[in-house]
């Protein structure tokens, strides 16, 4: 089944009217992992933010559906509850709120939307423990305040834990690999691979081939000036790594 179907999407910055997306077309089916690469400023983050309904942007044309539902007719919260979830490129710190409480709140929002009963703290602990194991994360993480004093790698792992807790049908990870050293990158890639199982859809935004080598996306797209200009398999990422974006034109 198709999860996300975007056709000829264009969007501008609400405040300035500057056109950023200029006809993006992309279809993601259940169980598929897609990656979008592209130079800085090509519109990758804008694309993800438009999908989740960020108020800074205005859709000027095209369509987007999630499981057949018109995405742009839904409030941003409804989109998240329907199972479309964007990780945060710069995760926020939430002083005074423990990671467990924050995760349980997110989890219960999703459960409410699915008509499932909320989990109390003890039930949530039972739900979370196997996920921590799967993601190879230290339980001491949970008692700490959300992102407070986390290292770059810990913040990224926490984002992935959030996605795992949400059990989103479709997760979007924007530059989950930025600023990570090789060891942290390996851990993050392993955690992303945990999210890949089953019929979930995954959309990764990255500048680098390294992450893609560890994750093996089904499709790689290249975005340029607000459009997807090329789609293929991981070999696109290798060409980019070797010759830069110019190499793709040849
Ligand atoms: P990428 O993620 O590919 O690096 P972005 O989507 O962040 O690119 O940005 C694409 C272009 O749109 C950039 O030129 C950026 O400055 C501009 N842009 C994005 N969001 C805004 C905004 N809220 N206000 C003004 N310009 C923006
Ligand atoms: Mg960027
Ligand atoms: Mg970006």
Domains and CATH numbers, the chain: 2-249 (3.40.50.300)
**227-232 vs 219-224, strand pairing mode:** antiparallel
Cα 175 to ligand 3 centre (Å) = 7
Positions of the chain with pLDDT lower than 50, given as ranges: none
Q: Tell me what pLDDT residue 187 has.
A: 82
Q: Each residue of 186-233: pLDDT tens digit?
A: 888 888 888 887 899 999 998 778 888 889 999 999 999 999 999 999
Q: Where are the beta strands (DSSP E) in 89-226?
A: 94-98, 145-146, 170-174, 201-205, 219-224
Pocket around ligand 1 at a 6 A CB cut-off: 13, 16, 18, 20, 38, 40-46, 56
Cα 40 to ligand 3 centre (Å) = 7
* pTM, full prediction: 0.90
Q: Tell me what pLDDT residue 36 has.
A: 96
56 CA closest ligand 1 atom index:
23
Residues with CB under 5 A from ligand 2 (ion): 40
Q: Tell me what pLDDT residue 249 has.
A: 60
d(CA 163, CA 213): 21
């Amino acid at each position: 089944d198709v999860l996300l179907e975007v056709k000829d999407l264009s969007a501008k910055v609400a405040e300035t009217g500057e056109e950023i997306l200029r006809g993006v077309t992309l279809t993601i089916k259940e169980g598929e992992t897609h990656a979008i690469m592209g130079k800085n400023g090509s519109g990758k983050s804008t694309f993800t933010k438009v999908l989740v309904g960020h108020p800074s942007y205005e859709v000027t044309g095209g369509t987007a559906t999630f499981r057949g539902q018109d995405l742009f007719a839904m409030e941003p919260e409804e989109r998240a509850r329907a199972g479309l979830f964007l990780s945060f490129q710069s995760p926020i710190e939430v002083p005074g709120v423990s990671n467990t409480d924050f995760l349980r709140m997110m989890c219960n929002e999703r459960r409410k939307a699915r008509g499932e009963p909320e989990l109390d703290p003890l039930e949530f602990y039972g739900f979370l423990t196997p996920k921590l194991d799967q993601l190879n994360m230290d339980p001491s993480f949970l008692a700490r305040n959300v992102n407070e004093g986390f290292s770059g790698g810990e913040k990224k792992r926490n984002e992935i834990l959030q996605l795992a807790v949400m059990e989103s049908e479709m997760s979007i990870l924007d530059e989950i690999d930025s600023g990570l050293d090789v060891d942290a990158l390996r851990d993050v890639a392993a955690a992303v691979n945990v999210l890949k199982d089953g019929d979930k859809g995954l959309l990764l935004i990255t500048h680098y081939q390294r992450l893609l080598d560890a994750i093996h996306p089904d499709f790689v797209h290249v975005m340029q000036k607000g459009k997807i200009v090329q789609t293929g398999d991981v070999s696109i990422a290798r060409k980019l790594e070797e010759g830069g974006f110019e190499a793709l034109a040849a």
